[in-house]
Structures are given as structure tokens and as C-alpha cells.
Amino acid sequence: MRKLFVFSAIFASTCMVSIAAMAQRLTSFVDPYIGSGGHGHVFVGANVPFGMVQLGPTEKSRGWDWTSGYHYSDSIIVGFAHLHLSGTGCGDLGDLALLPVNNVQQRDIHFKHNQETVAPGYYRLKTSDVDVELTSTKRVGMHRYTFSGKNGLLRIDLNEGIGDELTAADLRQVDDCTLEGYRKSRGWAPRQEVYFTITFNAPVRLWEPRPGEGIVDLKDTSRPVLVKVALSPVSSEKARQNMMAELPGWDFDQVRRDADAAWERELSRVNIETSNAQDKKIFYTSMYHLMVAPSEFCDVDRQYRGSDGRVYDGDFTNYTTLSLWDTYRAFHPLMTLIYPELQADYAETFIKIFEQQGRLPIWHLWGSETDCMVGSSAVPVLADLALKGFVRNPEQAFNAMKVSQLQDVRSLGLLKQYGYIPYDKEPANETVAKALEYCLDEDGLARLAKKLGHEDDYRYFFDRSRSYKKYFDRDIQFMRALGSNGQFRPEFDPIKVIHRADDYTEGNAWQYTWLVPHDVHGLISLFGGEKQFIKKLDEFFVTEGDMGPEASPDISGFIGQYAHGNEPSHHIIYLYNYAGQPWKAAPKLRYVMRKLYHAEPDGLCGNEDVGQMSAWYILSSLGLYQVEPSGGRFIMGTPLFAKAQVNVGNGKTLQITARNLSDKNIYVQGVRLNGKKYTKTYVDFDVLRQGGTLEFLMGPRPSKWGTAVADRP
């Protein structure tokens, strides 16, 4: 009897542990600190998926690593602002900062990280003077301040943003409990307008010691002070409407629970099974970072401020923070798979921007064109969406792409004149990077033209998309700058980088020679065949060298000359599949996933870049990656998890399993798709979107899987 009792107790205990593990919320695996140190530049604070508001601590800018307003190395907060970027290489936003203070002279709060609590949808800082709690809805930030004493003030700062310049501001009290106003600024975004309404749970008094700054006398701080701040790109009246629609009440804890539930719902779009707790933390934090932006840029009634500064009534959800040079590579392909319902609105956002500013977005921020980065990266994204069937009016999208690419701006005039971009005619430099980006952009345009039956346009843009061949120096096997005389630039160093002053963008010749993701077999032919291509690719991953003191700090996370910390390298490992040696990709992919992503503040080897670094990890850990920017073929790599269940929309699920997976068994031995043997090393988007099963059989040694010519992408 005693043995039976012991066995029963053990069994019951085991079941309770198992059930508890099953019930553990996915939000508990998110660590918002990951990427807040090093060069990750991620946002830390309270928000909900794709929300307009990013409410969190802002520190005084001390350089490039403070572009999001927060860096883990710092210990001084100057305000809790309502807008932040995440993972960018440039700083902006930081608008409308609130700071609880004890006196009018206080302008900051000193803190330690053990005084902070960070979680999806919630931020807390508890000091000896005040307990600060933050949460949010999409358009409303909510604050709860619990002061240690009976007297407290709230400083409102409209003057300072993150790297911008105030152009106009207004702050006024409209009744005992309500303030409203606006902040207009010029920075990375040349024109930004933020309108707001601030409501308190008790009467307050506002006074302004200087323009653009307010001190709020909270009168009685013996009880928690609750503050709601609603934003709008249109007007303060619209901000009030947003508040009434999203947060009419005062239950802070319920708003926090709702935010957590929103994150839980979106994180559960992909469920992974793994015994490695660190991998799970990295994965779900990557999913979390994926959903900070693009952020909604319209009011609850869908009104928004367009690129021309005018107010529009939308019949779609308008988005902003479009880091397209980064995100066309992995973020947008991943989103087509796990967020199909958002894609039509992404496309409509692009098209409306085209109608308002005369060309598709380059890097759009709060209704304003920054013109940051090279290429026309909205083109491959919009082409991919159209080819996958997400665009409501493909002809309208095609026209926006065509008109944008036939303009003379951003070196396109030189491309039309010469058939390439001569380095001696372009004072802004970076001509090789610009040309290669335009090639892959216009391949997507050509594919859509062909699908729509525009044969002349197809041929024109197809030919332009193959102009990358002009830059290839067959003698030394590198992409090099061409002059107006048709000759390569005489000076050449494949490793050295001079930021913004050489022929490449945040990279070198080693990294840019592979930037032909739309025509990999054409690139292979330039090398003289697969043998020479593989030889050069192998060299790429072992070649060492000093890029020099003027290199971009973005170029980081090295395997030889492969730099995972910046986007131009992200597709390169998968090129082995195209040459029939997919097994060579496996150890490199596993190295990146294991060694270049960590569950700690300095856990990213480069800028998060608005979800791109995380998207690469998510896709690659599932064993998939879309190399060709437009078209929808996902290349197979090496999965990191034994099981993953992916919600692909419309009630369909893609079940990915990896049999015999271990730290040693990283090589694919074979694949079964929906129960049938599958020999190809790629799978089409149209297959994945139907759901089903994708099964990898793993082993400790390379196999012949995917080596046959017919099985290559």
C-alpha cells in the first residue's frame, strides 16, 4: 500500500507539473531587455501589437546606441514618452514625455535595473520616491503613479524628442482633469505632427514655466494618480475619440491584462516545442519584436494624415514606420505567412503614399518620407504581395511601381541614361549597392508585369533587373563600381569600408557580390559554374580582414566576411541550396541561431531593424527562408525545433516537425510534405498557405537530399 501511495503521489505531482508547463503563458517567455544593450536598439516599454503608442522610458541621448531612447547601460530617465522606434539606425520620436517629480527643479530619475519590471504591455519602475507603472492600448497610454509622499508634480516635456527639433507646440488645460495640445517637429522625419489629449483621474492645475513645458500640480498624491494619454495624427479632438473608443474607464490592472492577452493571442500564431528554455525565450522575444512595427497610423475611424500633410478618410488601416530596406528580406515574407489578413492594408498603405507623394515609400515615418537607404524597397514588397494575391487592385499596384521606377530621382535617371549607375556621375556614392538593389526591385516589377500581361513592360524591367551583370569583374569575381567610360574603378579593396563614402551601403565587396537574390543561377553563371561559385562562397565564410576605422558600426556578427548584424548578408547562407550543396548551409545556419542570438540585453549582433533580425531567426528556426524577394519560394534550411505549429490564417495550420533532431543531428536527410516524399529544397508559398504537414528527417552527417539538379530552387 505504501508503494502504491508513493507512486500515486509521484504520478499526481508529475501531472501537475506537466499541466503547469502546458498552461504557461507565451508572454512569460518574452524578455523585452533582449536587444536593449549592445547595438540592438530595441524599444523597452509598454505597447500592444502594431499599436500607435510605444510608451516607455526615455534616457538622455548619449550617441548612436540611444536611437530607441533606451539603452541597458544607462541609469538616468528623463521622461516616459509615448512614441519610440525599435531597432533603427537613426533616432527620432520620443514625443510627449511625462516625468513624475518631487519639485520643479527635478528633471530626471536615477534608477537601477532591479527596480524595473518589463513585460509585454507593461513597464514598471519602483524607486524610493515613486512607483511608475505603464500600460497601453493601441492609441492610448495609461500611467499609474504612486508617490511615497503626499505631494507630487508631473513634468510634461514637448521640447525634447529623440534627435529631432521642435517646430511648434501647444499645451493647454481644457477642464479640471483634461489637457490637450500638439507637438510638431522636424528630424529624421522631416515633418511630424502628434496631437494628444491627457486625462487625469482627479482635478489638476497646469502651469508653464517655459514654452513647450508644463508642470502639473497633482494636488493630492496620497492615492495613486492615474493618467491617460491618447494620440492622434489628425487632431486633439480625434485623440479624445480614440480615448473614448479604446480606454473610457480607469481600471489600470484590466488594461494591463488586456494588453497581455493581446500579446498572448498574437504570440500564439506560432507554437514551438523545445526543451531548450533559452531558445524558447529567444523565439518568443523575436515574435514580440516582430510586432512593434509597422504601427497603425490612423484613428479609430481610420482617418489619417497623408504624406502630403492632408487629412484623409481611409477605408483601410494605414501603417507607418516602414523600414523597407531592412524588412523586404525576411520580415515581409514571414508576415505574408503568419499575418495574411494584414497584407491588403500594407499594400493599400504603399499605394496611398504613392498617390500622395508621387512615388512609393522608401523609409516612411509618421506620414513623412525620410528617403533613408538605397533602392526602392517598397517595390519588391508590393510585387510579392501582388504575386501572392493580397493586393486588391494589382493594376493599380503595378502602375505605382512602374511610375516610381521610371522617375529620375535617387540615381534612377543615371540608370536610364547609362544602363547602370556610374560612380563618377553620382556624388552620393554607393553606386554598386544602389544598382544591385534596383535590379532586385525591378525583377519583382517584371514578374508582376508578366503576370498581368504587360509584355513590353516585362521585357524592359526584366532587362534592367539583369544589369547587375555589368558590375561583375570576372577576373577577380567581385561586384565593382563602373565609371561613365565603362571601366571599373581603378582603386579596389574588397574588405575595406568607408561609411557613406564608397561604392557599397553598410557593407563591402565581399558582402555585396552575392546581392542577386532574384537571379541566383544567373550569378552562378557569372562565376563560370557551380564549382567556382561554391569555391568563392566557401572563401566568403573564412576570409578575415580589417574593414578599417571608417566602417559602418552596423557591419557586425561575423563569420568570415558574412556579417549577420546587417541585412545585405541575410540571404547568403541559403545560396548553397541553389548550387546543390544544401548540407553546407546547415552548420552555418545553426551557428548563427546559436551564437549570434542570445537571451540577454546584448543578445543581438546588430540593430533589430524594425523586426528584420527577429524575422530571420523565426523563419530560419522553422527551417524556411524566402531568398527571392518577390515570388514566394521558401528555401529549406535546418529547423531548430522538434515541432512548430504555424497558424497560416483562414483556420489553417502548418505543422512542421523535425524527427531525430539534436545538437548533432542538424543535416536534413529527407523531407515529407503532407505525408509524401518531397525531394526539393524549396517549397512554394501557395503550398504553405494551405497548411498541412512539413516533416524533416534529421541526421548527424550530410546527405544527398537536395543535390539533384531538379531539386534545387
Cα separation of 461 and 556, whole Å? 34
- 3 state SS for 104-119: CCCCCEECCHHHEEEE
Residue with cell 527620432: 92
List the grid coordinates of 388: 501572392
Residue 694 pLDDT more than 80? yes
CA 388, CA 397: separation in Å to the nearest integer?
A: 13
Tell me which residue of 647, 658, 669, 657 sits closest to 693, measured CA to CA.
657
Q: Which of 198, 340, 317, 193 is nearest to 269 (CA)?
A: 340
Query: Does the bond joining 211 to the residue before it have cis omega, within 30 degrees of 0?
Result: no
pLDDT higher than 80, residue 132: yes
**pLDDT reported for residue 632:** 85
Query: Residue 28: what are its φ and ψ, rounded to 5°?
Result: -70, -15
d(CA 20, CA 36): 30
Facing residues of 676 across strands? 673
Q: Is 299 left (phi over 0), alpha (psi -120 to 50) or beta?
A: beta
Q: Average per-residue pLDDT in the chain?
A: 95
Which spans in 596-650 are helix H?
612-621
- Residue 210: its pLDDT value, please? 85
3-state secondary structure of 100: strand
What is residue 54's predicted lDDT score, i.e. its pLDDT? 98
Residues 6+ apart with CB under 8 A from 643: 272, 273, 655, 656, 657, 658
Q: Retrieve residue 614's grid coordinates.
A: 527577429
How big is the CA angle at 47 (ends 44 and 52), to the nearest 5 degrees?
115
| pLDDT at 584 > cutoff 60 | yes
What is the percent of the chain where pLDDT is above 70?
97
| Mean pLDDT confidence for 438-445 | 98
pLDDT in tens, 519-549: 999 999 999 999 999 999 999 999 999 999 9
List helix spans (H) across 273-430. 277-290, 324-327, 331-338, 343-357, 378-387, 394-405, 412-418
pLDDT score at 8: 41
Please state the φ and ψ torsions of residue 488, each to the nearest 5 degrees: -70, 150
Q: What is the CA radius of gyration of the chain?
A: 26
Supply 442's cell numbers.
525591378
pLDDT (0 to 100) of residue 150: 75
pLDDT digits (tens, 9 = 90+) for 163-220: 999 999 999 999 999 999 999 999 999 999 999 999 999 999 999 888 899 999 998 8
Taking the C-alpha atoms of residue 119 and residue 292, their distance in angstroms, rounded to an integer, is: 14
Q: How many other CB atoms sit within 10 Å of the CB of residue 193?
A: 21
Burial level of 522, CB count in 10 A (0-12/13-18/19+)? middle
Comparing 3-12, 62-71, 110-119, 284-293, the range with the smallest average pLDDT is 3-12
Measured in whole angstroms, the distance separating CA 20 from the mean position of its chain's CA atoms is: 32
* DSSP bridge pairs for 56: 81
Tell me which amino acid residue 705 is. Answer: W
Give the SS3 label for residue 656.
strand
Helix (H/G/I), strand (E/B), else coil: 136:
strand
Give the global pTM: 0.96
- Going 496 to 499 to 502 to 507, the CA torsion angle's sign is positive
> According to the model, what pLDDT value does residue 208 have?
87
With contact defined as beta carbons under 8 Å apart, do 467 and 436 qualify? no
Please return the burial class of 38, using the count of CB atoms within 10 Å of its CB with bins 0-12, 13-18 and 19+: buried
Q: Average pLDDT in the 420-436 region? A: 97
Q: Which three cell numbers stand for residue 348?
A: 493599400
Q: Is the pLDDT of residue 415 over 80?
A: yes
Length of the chain: 713
Residue 144 has a pLDDT of: 98
- Phi/psi at 214 (5° precision): -125, 145
Cell of 32: 523585452
Q: Could you give the CA distance from residue 283 to residue 270 in angstroms, rounded to a whole number? A: 10
Q: pLDDT value at position 23?
A: 62
| Whether 324 contacts 378, CB under 8 Å | yes
Grid coordinates belonging to 266: 498574437
Mean pLDDT, residues 136-163 taken together: 95
Q: Are strands 76-81 and 56-59 parallel, antiparallel or unpaired?
A: antiparallel
At residue 5, the pLDDT reads 35
In three-state secondary structure terms, 335 is helix
Is 178 within 8 Å of 221 (Cβ atoms)?
no
Q: Which three cell numbers stand for residue 359?
A: 512615388
Residues of the chain by 3-state class (helix, strand, coil), percent to 5: 35, 25, 45
* Confidence band for 16, pLDDT divided at 50, 70 and 90: very low
The confidence score (pLDDT) of residue 2 equals 36
- pLDDT above 60 for 4: no
Q: Where are the alpha helices (DSSP H) in 201-251?
A: 236-246
Average pLDDT over every residue of 249-269: 98
Contact 86, 610 (CB under 8 A): yes
Q: What is the mean pLDDT of residues 422-439?
A: 97
Q: Rounded to an integer, what distance in angstroms lies between the CA atom of residue 24 and that of residue 2?
A: 33
Closest to 361 measured CA to CA, from 374, 348, 377: 377
Position 554 confidence tier, pLDDT thresholds 50, 70, 90: confident
3-state secondary structure of 163: coil
3-state secondary structure of 670: strand
Q: Say how many C-beta atoms besides its own lie within 10 A of residue 223's C-beta.
A: 11
Over residues 449-483, the pLDDT tens digits come to 999 999 999 999 999 999 999 999 999 999 999 99
Q: Are the C-beta atoms of 629 and 385 separated by less than 8 Å?
A: no
CA distances, 457 to each of 46, 451, 466, 630 (Å): 47, 11, 14, 17
- pLDDT band for 260, please (50, 70, 90 cuts): very high
For residue 286, is pLDDT > 90? yes
- In this predicted model, what pLDDT tens digit does every residue of 617-673 receive, in sequence order? 999 999 999 999 999 899 999 999 999 999 999 999 999 999 999 999 999 999 999
